[in-house]
Structure 1
Amino acid sequence: MIYNIVEFGAIGDGITNDSAAVQNAIDTCHGNGGGRVYVPGGKVFKVGSILLKSYVELHLAAGSVLKASDNLEDFLPVEPGMEVNSNTGVPSYINCEYNGKPFHYFIYGKDAEYVSITGSGKIDGTEEVFHGEEGTYHIEGTYYPRIPMVLFENISQLTVKGVTMSKCGFWTLHMAGCQDVLIDGIRIINSLKMANSDGIDPDHCKNVRIVNCHIECADDCIVFKNTAGYEKYGSCENIVVTGCTLISTSAAIKFGTESVSDFRNIIVDNCNISRSNRGISLQLRDRGNIENVIFSNINIETRRFSEQWWGRAEPIYVTAIDRKAGVKAGHIKNVTFKNINCKSENGIFISGSKDNYIEDINFENIRLNLLKSSKWPVDSYDIRPCDGMGILKGKVHGVYLDYAKEISFKKIKVTIDASMEESVDKKVEVRQVESLVFEEA
């Protein structure tokens, strides 16, 4: 069955609040056993909170726009009684601790099965309503955490396919505790200045496929999370990412920093990363562990951005550092990087802690070309968030290793362009490392 939202009273003039009509169509579709809720092309439907339900496919036809209301009173709380906290005045890149649960929702689904969002239409997050302090390279949000575009909790057999998501003011596609997930061929086009506008956030999710997507966003493109607010759903595991093109003001592929549970059995393959502040970032800051992860057949191009963004153009970044006193970072082991080409303004950075060595990391067939490409200085590493400022000043290296063991590099080639000679100290800097194999190509 097809349920056209216009037949339920939706106007589609971009002015009228069509939330009730869209929700009525969803409720009717669900009540009749399922089907397709159809958003027709050629119209802009302004809506507040929308709740998706089991066996409902929300289908956006080509030329359709589902646009978030510019009135925050149109958005419902995720849990009764939740209220938005005012801005503390501390930028989110300094104080960004988040348990994963937002205050309000735009498009939401919880405790359901066989839920889909499909089509060639667009979901517009009306990002500008969340603008706080605006600078040349960074837009701070009016409060934190803000409203995600799509939030799914405890959904099984979840599909998001074909749609474009744009202008989101916070996490774009956040999935918490979901199982059997297919994200296929979507586009996420967010501002490269809007703080915290992540692309896809699998959080405590299992059996996930993210394929053939294009993502541009400030902060991270695809970021695996294990947040405290959804800890009951356990580990993040059995995930494949392939065929994606990624552009980010922070990390294109990231683990963490929220990591209260384990990450395991994850493969990232056949992706292109460009114009990013980091390529691949493993950032354990909480007690969860990372193991059995493979990155292969990836091209990475990184460059420096402004100080407001975490990262110093590292193409590959692996760290396990305590978030603060009393919050112990987990352990990283058995991670493979294979067939990776890097063009960057910084080198590969691996650092654990004196009581938490990173272990069993294998690199094979790596090409690293250090090349200056931005106006920003190459003079530091960035280990934020951590206890302290987190900026390690000094010259950089092709490969930096500290507090690590059983590290293997086979067929690695490090090239330092003339534009980087004054900024690079050594091709390889080895500090507290046990059992290192380093074979140049």
Structure 2
Amino acid sequence: MTVSQRAAATAHSPVREHRRAGGPRVFSVDRFGAVADGRTKDTAAIQAAIDAAHASGGGVAHLPPGTYLSGGIELRSRVTLHLEAGAVLLGSTDLADYPPHEGPPADCDAGQRHLVFARGATDIAITGAGTIDGQGPAFWEPSGRPPTPPDRYWADVVTHNWKPVGNNDRPSPMVELAECRNVRIEGVTLRNSPGWTLRPIACDTVMIRGIVIRNPIDGINTDGIDPTACQNVFIADCDIETGDDAICLKSENPYGDLRVTRNVVVTNCVLSCCCNAFKLGTATRGGFEDITFTNSVIYNRDVPLNERVISGIAIEMVDGGWVDGVSVSGIRMRNTRTPVFIRLGNRGWGQPDPVPGRLRRVRISGIDATGAILTSSITGLAEQPVEDVVLSGIRIDTDEGGRREWVERNIPEEIAEYPEARMFGRLPAYGLYVRHARGIRISGTEIRSTVPDPRPLLVADDVVGLSVDTLDGTGPGTATSLLELRNTRDAFLSRSRAPQGTDVYLTVSGFRSADIALVGNELSRATSAVATTHGAAPDSVVSDGNLVGR
């Protein structure tokens, strides 16, 4: 008799199930032969409990306290997998215990093998105060790369010290829920994932609340939560420490038709990693619409720079899709390398004639970041700019301490490169670098360097429609302007104050610069208000109502 036949035969047996008063049918895995000693494989018993709950019309597959060694199991519709406090679902280290599921390629970061899997299921849940442990280090080996010099730690990530064993065929994502509806994951701890930890993909109505993720900081590809092509997703009250991206929204679907990633709310989370904390991308084949990230903490302790978060907020579009409607607010960051990274590129995956996508309507407010070491940036393409980005109420303290020669660096376009905040190298501004953009508004923002930095606070290059209001920072010293506009048109700068140590407040360069207004600013501490250079016409800037020194 097969496992499924045994499950069906015992689905209504009083020996095999019990019903809590007024509650669902509960199928305890020990009644199906689970040993829970951490050595005996309990895969069949766990699957039998799941199948029995499903066959009875719905119920709970229950794991009492104990350690259940298991290969891949599959959730069914109307079944809750409940791990009691003290219960550990321990993933086998034998790859043969994980049957492949067709859809994704077998040898990629998100492949065909999983510890917990569901496809096309409805009304499923993973709950409880127990733990799912994937024994991830068993699937990694040293990469053998040369040691990274400490002066390059700012651009490095410690996870590169490891690589997947063999041909990258490992249980990843550890928990994969594909094309499901009404999904709930609550209370559990997920740890030691061999690759990606939790991916709902092409799902509708997903609630993830109060879970803990603990993966090694050097764990290779150990993303925390990756909602992919999902709609109506709620992630709240989660505590994530991992090696790769903490929460990463993606747009792809190897299981079927691509859907828009839409209506996603992430709130009240604490995130730490050595990649990106909250990210859209990099798989960006389709659209992202109406995404909100609020009221959360992003942090690293006092660790080497290559163990720090690369970007607190990373919004990326590089595969021809679109971003339209992202709101980020109320975020506290500590020791995050780059607070904000917004990138529109054209990687052209799977496209014979790559076409850039669109990135627009982004609102970021209420960010308080300390310990930054890399410049925040908003960058698009000359033929396809980033559009309509608003930054407001932002405070950043940066410890980078740049060099004067970085101001004159020729910043590469890197059109088809993998997007990452460090991709351009050191940037010409200490606070914010904007290139190939339209409709950028900055207000109520303060960016201060905690160490001497002879670069401008803001550099804008090929920007149309720039508004800067109440921007404050630290003076860069002599021979450097506080703000630098290169080939920028239709700019309005108002109600800001030149800090002590400002030589030139605003430098405008490039023959395409035009229609720049400097109005109502307090510039008495600047040696001079405006300089035009490198082809910029003297009448490209109009000054009115500014308070200047005598």
TM-score (norm 1): 0.88
Preserved contact between residue 105 and residue 149 of structure 1 (Cα < 8 Å): yes
Structure 1 residues 243 and 387, CA gap change in structure 2 (3 angstroms): closer
Q: Which has the higher relative contact order, 1 or 2, with Cα contacts under 8 A spaced 6 or more apart?
A: 1
Match for residue 67 of structure 2 among 39, 44, 54: 44
How is 1:33-432 mapped onto 2 (pairs within 5 angstroms)?
33-41=57-65, 43-79=66-102, 84-85=106-107, 102-134=111-143, 137-138=158-159, 139-142=162-165, 143-144=167-168, 146-147=170-171, 148-230=173-255, 232-275=257-300, 276-303=309-336, 313-324=337-348, 326-343=353-370, 344-372=372-400, 386-387=416-417, 391-397=423-429, 398-418=431-451, 421-422=452-453, 425-432=455-462
Identity in percent:
29
Structure showing the higher strand proportion among its residues: 1
Preserved contact between residue 95 and residue 170 of structure 2 (Cα < 8 Å): no
- Unpaired segments of 5 or more residues in structure 1? 86-97, 304-312
- Runs (4 or more) in structure 1 with deviation over 6 Å come to 378-385
Preserved contact between residue 204 and residue 231 of structure 1 (Cα < 8 Å): no
CA distance in 2, matches of 1:383, 1:184: 40
Report how many residues are paired: 410
CA deviations over 1:257-312 (Å, ceiling 9, x no partner):
00111000111110101122210001211011001110011112244xxxxxxxxx
Structure 1 residues 387 and 338, CA gap change in structure 2 (3 angstroms): closer
Give the greater-gyration-radius structure (CA).
2
CA distance in 1, matches of 2:34, 2:73: 13
Preserved contact between residue 254 and residue 280 of structure 1 (Cα < 8 Å): yes
The offset of 1:314, in angstroms, is 1.4
RMSD of equivalent CA atoms: 2.4
The offset of 1:428, in angstroms, is 0.4
Q: Which moved more, 1:406-415 or 1:364-373?
A: 364-373
User: What SS does the corresponding residue of 2:254 show, helix, strand or coil?
Assistant: helix
> In the alignment, residue 52 of structure 2 is paired with which amino acid?
T
Preserved contact between residue 290 and residue 332 of structure 1 (Cα < 8 Å): yes
Preserved contact between residue 383 and residue 391 of structure 1 (Cα < 8 Å): no
- Unpaired segments of 5 or more residues in structure 2? 1-24, 148-157, 301-308, 473-550
The offset of 1:406, in angstroms, is 0.3
User: What SS does the corresponding residue of 2:456 show, helix, strand or coil?
Assistant: strand
The offset of 1:104, in angstroms, is 1.6
CA distance in 2, matches of 1:383, 1:140: 29
CA distance in 2, matches of 1:351, 1:83: 32
The offset of 1:233, in angstroms, is 4.1
The offset of 1:103, in angstroms, is 2.4
Preserved contact between residue 277 and residue 302 of structure 1 (Cα < 8 Å): no
CA distance in 2, matches of 1:168, 1:236: 24
TM-score (norm 2): 0.71
Q: Which moved more, 1:107-116 or 1:274-283?
A: 274-283
